[in-house]
Each structure stands twice: as C-alpha cells, then as structure tokens.
Structure 1
Amino acid sequence: MAINKYMRAALKALSYGEPDLTENYEMVRKIKELKRGVGAGLAYRTWDHLVPCGDHHVPVRIFAPDAGPLGRPVLLFFHGGGWVTGNIENYSGVCAALAKATGCLVASVDYRLAPEHKFPRGLNDCYAAAQELLEKPGLLGVERDQITLIGDSAGGNLAAAVSLMARDRGGLLPARQILIYPAVYSDHTPASPFPSVRENGTGYLLTSKRVEEYLQLYRSGPEDLQNPYLAPLLAGDFSGQPDTLVITAEYDPLRDEGEEYARRLAFAGNRVVLHRMPDALHGFFSLPARFAQVRRAHLYIQQFIAGDDML
C-alpha cells in the first residue's frame, strides 16, 4: 500500500518532538523494552548459550521453528536499535517469525550496548559469536556453509563489520550475509553524499538527527567515524566478502548508503542481491509477520539462502 497524504501527515506528526537521545537514551531504551516480542502466537522453542569473549560471556538465544531436529541452516542474528537499544527479549517475535518463515534456526546475539559499552565492544561480541559458531558448527548440527549472518539497521552494520573484520584478521567467513536497511556510513547531516538522508531524514519515523545521536552514543571518539568497522562504506577494500543480500526501505534515510554498499561489494567481485522494499519505512522488518512487506522480506531471505536469486 502506498503512503497516502493522511499517512504522511501522521508520520510527520510522530516524527516530531522526539527526546534528545544523547540525554534520554535510558528512557528510550526502557520504552522499547516494554515492547517485548511474543512470537505472535507462533509455535517455536528456544534455548540459551553463552559465548566467551575476553572477560565476559555473550548471551545467544537459539530459536527453532518447531520441535524437529537440528541440522538445518542457521541465521546468526544481530538486532537493530542504533547500538543503544534492543535485546534478545524484544526481538523474540522477529526471530521466531524469521525461524518459522524460513525453516532455519535463528541464533540471536545479545551484544553489549552503548553508551555503557562503546565501539568496538558490541562489535567484538558479535565477532566472537560468529567465530565460535563458524569454528564449531557442530554445536547446532550444521556445516559451515549453512551459516548466514543477518542483521537489521545497526545489526546490519554489525554483520557487515564482522565480515570485514573476519577477512582482515584471517578469521572464518560465513557463506552469506543478509543486511536489512543497514547503517553503513558515518555522516547523516545535510552534508551527506546520499540524497535519502535529505529526502527521508524527517517525517518518516527514523530521522537523520536520530541516526546522528545514535552514532554519537556509539563511538568512542571522533576518530571512530573514519573507521570502516564502524562505517563499512569507508573500507578501502570490498573484496573477499560473503554472498550478500541487501534489503532497503523506500522511505528510509539509510536507503542510499545500503544500496551503495551493495554496489561496492558487487563491483569488487562479490555475489550480491539487492532489493528495495517499496512504500516501506525503516524498521518494517520488526512488524508482525502478517504484514505484506515482512512476508516479502522473508521470501527474499528464503530465495537467497536457497541460492535461487543469485546473479
């Protein structure tokens, strides 16, 4: 359904008056934590696992679509929330729906959040979880080529950064990565080279101002804005990356940077599939699975995992 003038007016009203995130991130986090995912009535099972990472352990929750055996493809999921909000609990509905739609196991990583844990701590958690699963795929009864990294928004950023880091460090790479409206650049001011920052930066729920606030809370210092592990589009080398699916949203300030990342990967010789979701806002993937855009995204993911749409 196209966004009509009445919906545009409502979105514009909802986009104004948001609190300054840098001063009120705890309040925003608590509000989002109230929206706990409940799986939308889906039948699924879960179990928890801890991944060692330096002086702490990273919680990972595995979602299975049914009571069947292991040995099915695994989606290692990094949640969105601007690196500041979100957790396993309020993404449980998203992960359960994804497991049910794809028939895959979904392993959701509860990485540490900023600003208490600034860049690159959350990224290090995600990297540790990916490397453990890739080194020990038998933990979930799969082969290494059955493992896919996936993330939405900040989670898409983390998935892309984990793949770059694995290549640079000589670590193990997943067979595939799925980046859903990823944040992959470090400038969302009017000076950004991407038109979607200006076209969609106000009036569509996620504002360009809010993205800048998230980055301010996430980074350890201004120098991080030039680090490709914080902004993967700044990488000097895009070769040697997994097969990649990028899904963007039409009315999203992050749309153009995600699509440019797909183009850079493809130009460097990687296999890439890009889909722009029409009439979609940033965050649509967290809607219930009954929404057509979510169902279409699930279909794209199924096709990608099966290799049906690779060019």
Structure 2
Amino acid sequence: MPINKAVLAAFSAATRLRPDIKEFYATQRAAEDVLAKLTLRDPRCRIEDISAPMPDGFEVRLRVFTPLDIDFSLVSGLKVTEDSRGTILFFHGGGWVNGDVDFYTDACTSMALRLERRVVSVDYRRAPEHRFPQAPEDCYEVTRQLLAGELLADVDADNVVLFGDSAGGNLAAVVSLMARDRGEFAVRTQMLLYPVTYNDHDPSTSFFDSVRENGEDYLLSSRDIKGYMELYASKPADLHDPYFAPLLEPDLSDQPRTLVITAEYCPLRDEGEVYAQRLADDGGDAQCYRVLDAVHGYLLYPTVFNIVKDTYRIIKSFLDGDELAQEGEPAWLEILGTA
C-alpha cells in the first residue's frame, strides 16, 4: 500500500535535511517544549502531576490522566465521575533522548479517553545527561511502586498494563525482563508500539530488511537510530546487553501477555515483529499487527487520522477482548495470532 507520492516526497526531504541527531537533539527538545505549550486541555480528562522517589533521591515526575464521565441534567446538575477500567503505565518515545510527559500530554489524553483507562506517563531521566541503564532503572522502580500501591492507592495490580512507543516500547519490554529476572513483582500485560528491540541498524549489516527498505525516506532514519543509541549507551558493551536490546535475550519465556504493533514504513518494523514471534516461540501469549501506510511516530498524530483510530481499535480489542474486524480496504495485517 504505497504512501501518497507528495507525502512521500515531503517525508524524504524532511529526513534528508535533518542534522545529525547527536548535534540536533537539544534543538529538537526546545521545539518540543514549544509545541507542548500549545496543547489544549480536554475537560473530559483530569490531569494531575505526582512524583516517584528513586533510590538515589531523585524524584521522577509522573503525569496522571484520568478519563471522566460528565453528566448534566436540570434535576441533578453537573455530575462528574471517574470512568476508568484499569491503569496504563506509559513510557514515552524519543530515542531515550527526546520526548517527555509535556510533549506527550495530548497523546496520553487521547489514550485515556479512547481506552477508558487511567494513564500514568513517566518522565524517566533522559540521555545523554543520564545514560543507560538509568532510564530502565527509573521505569522499573516506578512500575514496582505503582504495582505495590505506593503511588496511587486504588490501583488494581492485575489491571496495570505497560505501554510504550519506540524507545518507550523498548523500556516496557526491558522492565518486563527485569521483573522476571529480579522477582520483585510480575507484569501481566504489555503493549509495544514500533519498539526498538535490536542493536544494529546499519543497512549494510542489519538482519532486517526494514532497515534497508525504510531507513532513508520515512522521517526516522537508520542514521538517527544509530545516533540515539550512541547518546544512550554508557559504553560500547551496553549495546550487547539484553536490557539495552531485548531481542538479544536468549530466553524470552515468562513474559507478559503482549501486543506488538508495527508501522509498514518504519525501519524498526521487522525487529518488532521478530520480537513478538520470539515471545510466542518461547511459550508466551503474543499478538502482532502491522499498521499499513504508517510511518514511525504516528501515535503523536491527531486522532482523526485513520492510522491512529485503527491502532486504538487494535488496542481496545486486545485489552477488552472485543472482536476485531476490518472494514473496506485492509488497514492492518495480523502478523501473529494469539499463542
């Protein structure tokens, strides 16, 4: 399903004009800060800021999005109640370097309303100021505290879902591995949207065709991914650590029920799909879908876009057990069914 030629030309030009991310990330952060200030709050969602103390004394900022049911009648007046079926712990994307809870406020508001779940967005410490393994350690500790009821008193641990996009998908997968290995808590469900799972994105050496097919003209380039990893890693050996690249983990057993969603024109497409297959091969319950005509990062698009609406349909089906049926032209491919 080819992308419109004019759109493809714009994507290609933007990708090729973008400077090296190692020099550009600070400028991108500043631009994201400006865009975040333009976000309009939706009255159907209550937004609160809290924090989680880390073992070293640092306070990780969390933003909590609670969907509301607003009812008005002439008899009883305005009645506002919470309308939440569980909690999503969200780890944002941005190559472990960009993105934050402010930049993702609009996306998390839409997530809370469309999925009818409270969303807790994590402002983990970013590279290069805080390199690997700081981000996964922050996310792990926030997860532990949330499941233990230390952050929000009414959390049902059985209904907590880890969710992340891109580098955030990497962090969700890594937290699940850390939880299994350390044995302090169990993660029951995770959702990974176009996640980073591998360590080699050089078109000349990568195992994955999507790096060669989609690594130049679709906004996120293979050069960008390499630059982000260089900013994230503390030392070269980190690139071979499964907590850095979870596809390197030889044993993917005892992992949560998992949904992986990839984008057709994303360089990370194949490694995400292989990760889902590996989970299934090691005995896990995994589902995997490829959203057609989509590029990396589309979660941040307005929800009027069909690719965003289709993604939420897939997620709701996964979370709620509803039947997932396509209408008209295929909007996604099911790569892997429930194991």
Class of the TM-score when normalised by the shorter of the 2 chains: over 0.9
Using the TM superposition, give the Cα deviation of residue 308 of structure 1 relative to its aligned residue in structure 2, in angstroms. Answer: 4.0
CA distance in 1, matches of 2:234, 2:169: 20
Q: How does 1:69-80 map to 2 (within 5 A)?
A: 69=82, 72-80=85-93
Counterpart check, 1:264 vs 2:278: yes
Q: How does 1:235-250 map to 2 (within 5 A)?
A: 235-250=249-264
Three-state SS of the structure 1 residue aligned to 2:81 is: coil
Which residue of 175, 183, 196 corresponds with 1:162?
A: 175
Structure with bigger gyration radius? 2
Unpaired segments ≥5 residues, structure 1: none
Does the 8 Å contact 1:72/1:142 carry over to 2?
no
Tell me what 1:60 maps to.
62
Does the 8 Å contact 1:200/1:251 carry over to 2?
yes
Alignment RMSD (CA, Å): 1.7
CA distance in 2, matches of 1:41, 1:297: 21
Tell me what 1:6 maps to.
6
Unpaired segments ≥5 residues, structure 2: 69-79, 324-337
Tell me what 2:333 maps to.
none
Using the TM superposition, give the Cα deviation of residue 106 of structure 1 relative to its aligned residue in structure 2, in angstroms. Answer: 0.3
Q: CA 1:137 to 1:75, structure 2 compared with 1: closer, same or farther past 3 Å?
A: farther
CA distance in 1, matches of 2:188, 2:150: 12
Using the TM superposition, give the Cα deviation of residue 137 of structure 1 relative to its aligned residue in structure 2, in angstroms. Answer: 7.3
Counterpart check, 1:153 vs 2:179: no
Counterpart check, 1:17 vs 2:50: no
Three-state SS of the structure 2 residue aligned to 1:31 is: helix
Specify the code of the residue in structure 1 equivalent to 2:314.
Answer: Y
CA distance in 1, matches of 2:269, 2:84: 35
1:11-43 CA-to-partner distances (Å, cap 9, x unmatched) read 111111211121232112112222217257562
Specify the code of the residue in structure 2 equivalent to 1:79.
Answer: H
Tell me what 1:196 maps to.
210
1:274-302 CA-to-partner distances (Å, cap 9, x unmatched) read 01000000001111111111111111111
Q: CA 1:106 to 1:39, structure 2 compared with 1: closer, same or farther past 3 Å?
A: farther
Which residue of 211, 214, 219 corresponds with 1:205?
A: 219
Q: How does 1:199-238 map to 2 (within 5 A)?
A: 199-238=213-252
Using the TM superposition, give the Cα deviation of residue 130 of structure 1 relative to its aligned residue in structure 2, in angstroms. Answer: 0.5
Using the TM superposition, give the Cα deviation of residue 49 of structure 1 relative to its aligned residue in structure 2, in angstroms. Answer: 1.8
CA distance in 2, matches of 1:165, 1:292: 35
Tell me what 1:106 maps to.
119
Three-state SS of the structure 1 residue aligned to 2:293 is: strand
Using the TM superposition, give the Cα deviation of residue 188 of structure 1 relative to its aligned residue in structure 2, in angstroms. Answer: 0.4
Using the TM superposition, give the Cα deviation of residue 52 of structure 1 relative to its aligned residue in structure 2, in angstroms. Answer: 1.5
1:148-174 CA-to-partner distances (Å, cap 9, x unmatched) read 000000000000000000100112122
Does the 8 Å contact 2:169/2:194 carry over to 1?
yes
Count of residue correspondences:
311
CA distance in 2, matches of 1:5, 1:211: 25
Does the 8 Å contact 1:161/1:230 carry over to 2?
yes
Three-state SS of the structure 2 residue aligned to 1:62 is: strand
Q: Which has the higher contact order (CA 8 A, sep 6+)?
A: 1
Q: CA 1:250 to 1:112, structure 2 compared with 1: closer, same or farther past 3 Å?
A: same
Using the TM superposition, give the Cα deviation of residue 72 of structure 1 relative to its aligned residue in structure 2, in angstroms. Answer: 2.9
Tell me what 1:34 maps to.
34
1:62-114 CA-to-partner distances (Å, cap 9, x unmatched) read 10111423763000000000000111111000000000001100000000000
Q: CA 1:41 to 1:50, structure 2 compared with 1: closer, same or farther past 3 Å?
A: closer
Q: CA 1:305 to 1:22, structure 2 compared with 1: closer, same or farther past 3 Å?
A: same
Using the TM superposition, give the Cα deviation of residue 8 of structure 1 relative to its aligned residue in structure 2, in angstroms. Answer: 1.7
Does the 8 Å contact 2:52/2:151 carry over to 1?
no
Q: CA 1:246 to 1:4, structure 2 compared with 1: closer, same or farther past 3 Å?
A: same
Tell me what 1:175 maps to.
188
- Higher mean C-alpha deviation, range 2-11 or range 56-65: 2-11
Tell me what 2:304 maps to.
290
Does the 8 Å contact 1:72/1:141 carry over to 2?
no
Specify the code of the residue in structure 2 equivalent to 1:204.
Answer: Y
